[in-house]
Amino acid sequence: MVDELIAVIGDSEIDIAPDYNDWFAVGCSLANYFGEDGRARFHAVIQFYPSYSPHQTDEKFDDALKGSYNYNIGTFIHHANNVGVTAFADFKDMPEEVI
């Protein structure tokens, strides 16, 4: 489901993180959920951020991996949903810890 959202974001070239705090929260949520495997996903969704920098994105993803930031994958889903990107009809069948 997360990769489906990422594909929609990429196909639509939508910026899901309008400011730095949202941008970092999305990175942390992907880092916490996927670990290092979230790095490419973070680049895929954040490349439409107006100030996107591959170098800065890598640096902040490193910080997210090292830190103990309290974001889960629901943070990413929330930001995607805020801009109209959805991968499923509703959340009723999702595990509670994801929402």
User: What digits encode the pLDDT tens for the residues 5-55?
Assistant: 999 999 999 999 989 999 999 999 999 999 999 999 999 999 998 889 999
Write 23-28 long-range contacts (CB < 8 A, 24+): 23/49, 23/60, 24/60, 24/64, 25/71, 25/75, 25/79, 26/75, 26/76, 26/79, 27/57, 27/60, 27/61, 27/64, 28/64, 28/67, 28/69, 28/71, 28/75
Q: What is this structure's pTM?
A: 0.84
pLDDT digits (tens, 9 = 90+) for 7-18: 999 999 999 998
pLDDT digits (tens, 9 = 90+) for 77-97: 999 999 988 865 444 555 555
